Amino acid sequence: MKLGIVGLPNVGKSTLFNAITEAGAESANYPFCTIEPNIGVVAVPDQRLAVLNEMYQSEKVIPASIEFYDIAGLVRGASKGEGLGNKFLSHIREVEAILHVVRCFEDSDITHVEGDVNPLRDIETINLELVFSDLEIIEKRIQKTEKLIKSDKSLIEELELLKLIKEALEEGNTVRTLDLSPEQQKIVRSFNLLSSKPTIYVGNVSEEDIKNYGADNQYVGKLKELASGENAEVVVICAKIEAEIAELDEDEKQMFLDELGLKESGLDRLIKASYSLLGLISYLTAGPKEVRAWTIKNGLKAPQAAGKIHSDFERGFIRAEIVAFNDLVACGSHGAAKEKGLVRLEGKEYIVKDGDVILFRFNV
Ligand code: GDP
């Protein structure tokens, strides 16, 4: 999963991104993450892996991972080429979801590029850049489709949809906020528009305000109101605290969070929110060599889920041996679960569930 961090300058993006790279997954497991300076890879926290590791005494544990892309440099006028505008916009095209960092902390020492702290205006500034960029694409597409439609009437619906989108964009609305049918959504996905990407607004609050997740912060209230009308999520963090947490080991981290009265780090909450926003689940594989979590879209059938491991697994799929994580743990071992009939053989139509522990059988 790829997430892009965007936001105006001086809102806390680098602080958050540095915390992410610091907390980063072991690079041995993710060789590519040491290459690109603007990509941070973190492990998806999953307590089930430790339980399976205990059971199988595996050589390796590999959690699922998320790639965070630091897309700094988005400023007012980016769509017109201000700054390195278009370059940054094209980076957004590559990610599956947007984490839009918004400044909700007051600090007179830290300049705000727009003069004062005002999350709604900041969000509009960034969103408008996405909207302008999309509008350009849609207008070109309309011209092309109008030509093609003369010989291909099947494009009528697409043209209608394009015009609907154009209207919304011209009013300054993101494509994400449009109420579209599933068929229309499918067409829209193929356009890969920036303002159609699922979005999480990350409210960056002060060290004081994070203690109750920004409940007393007036800007967070406004942010939540805006997000609820936009099909977007809000996660409240304190980037500075995240930076401190990132330097601690697992035990110290928990102690530090307890002191602050927090259950989980902002990063862990961001990962959870991203999973839920994108409709993702994890299935597990376990053996003496390796215990591992794999991220898939909820609703995938067994062969496609297998394809996540290797395309051969999908092509040559025969069947899957599946036991639910909870059943496996309750029985104590795979053998015991099998004796109780809890290890099922599933075929090509089986829809994989979160926490399924799977062994795929396939032909090469
Ligand atoms: P970016 O331009 O969006 O990447 O912003 P930075 O991460 O560089 O942050 C800009 C300034 O705000 C830096 O001086 C940070 O130390 C400060 N900053 C970031 N997050 C917080 C925060 O949660 N609280 C406070 N007080 N300052 C912060």
**Predicted pLDDT at 107:** 83
> Distances from the Cα of 203 to the Cαs of 31, 56, 113, 311, in angstroms?
31, 41, 17, 39
- Please state the atom number of ligand 1 nearest to the C-alpha of residue 101: 3
Residues of the chain with CATH 3.40.50.300: 2-277
What mean pLDDT is predicted for residues 11-34? 72
For residue 10 and ligand 1, the question of a CB distance below 6 A is answered with: yes
* pLDDT above 90 as % of the chain: 75
> Does residue 37 register a pLDDT over 90?
no
Rg, C-alpha atoms of the chain: 23
**Predicted pLDDT at 114:** 75
Asked if residues 116 and 65 have their Cβ atoms less than 8 Å apart, the reply is: no
* CA dist., res. 278 & res. 281, Å (int): 9
Which amino acid is it at 183? E
Give domain 299-362's CATH architecture.
Roll (3.10)
> Does residue 33 register a pLDDT over 50?
no
pLDDT band at 32 (very low <50, low <70, confident <90, very high): very low
| 203 known member of a binding site | no
Mean pLDDT of the chain: 90
For residue 266 and ligand 1, the question of a CB distance below 6 A is answered with: no
Asked if residues 155 and 144 have their Cβ atoms less than 8 Å apart, the reply is: no
What mean pLDDT is predicted for residues 96-101? 95
In the reported structure, the alpha carbon of residue 148 is separated from the centroid of ligand 1 by a whole-number distance in angstroms of: 50
Beta strands at 290-297 and 280-286: parallel, antiparallel or unpaired: antiparallel
* CA dist., res. 161 & res. 159, Å (int): 5
Confidence check on the interface: ipTM exceeds 0.90, yes or no: yes
What mean pLDDT is predicted for residues 331-354? 96
* Closest C-alpha to 74, from 25, 123, 29: 123
**Predicted pLDDT at 9:** 87
CATH 3.40.50.300 fits 2-277, yes or no: yes
Residues of the chain with CATH 3.10.20.30: 299-362
**Predicted pLDDT at 71:** 86
For residue 239 and ligand 1, the question of a CB distance below 6 A is answered with: yes
Helices (H), ranges, 279-324: 302-307, 311-315
In the reported structure, the alpha carbon of residue 152 is separated from the centroid of ligand 1 by a whole-number distance in angstroms of: 53
For residue 13 and ligand 1, the question of a CB distance below 6 A is answered with: yes
For residue 156 and ligand 1, the question of a CB distance below 6 A is answered with: no
28-32, 296-300, 348-352, range with the lowest pLDDT: 28-32
What mean pLDDT is predicted for residues 242-253? 91
In the reported structure, the alpha carbon of residue 199 is separated from the centroid of ligand 1 by a whole-number distance in angstroms of: 21
Asked if residues 360 and 287 have their Cβ atoms less than 8 Å apart, the reply is: no
Beta bridge partners of 361: 319
In the reported structure, the alpha carbon of residue 33 is separated from the centroid of ligand 1 by a whole-number distance in angstroms of: 24
**Which one is predicted more confidently, 253 or 24?**
253
**Predicted pLDDT at 25:** 55
> Does residue 159 register a pLDDT over 60?
yes
| 13 known member of a binding site | yes
pLDDT tens digit string along 38-65? 888 888 989 999 999 999 999 999 999 8
For residue 304 and ligand 1, the question of a CB distance below 6 A is answered with: no
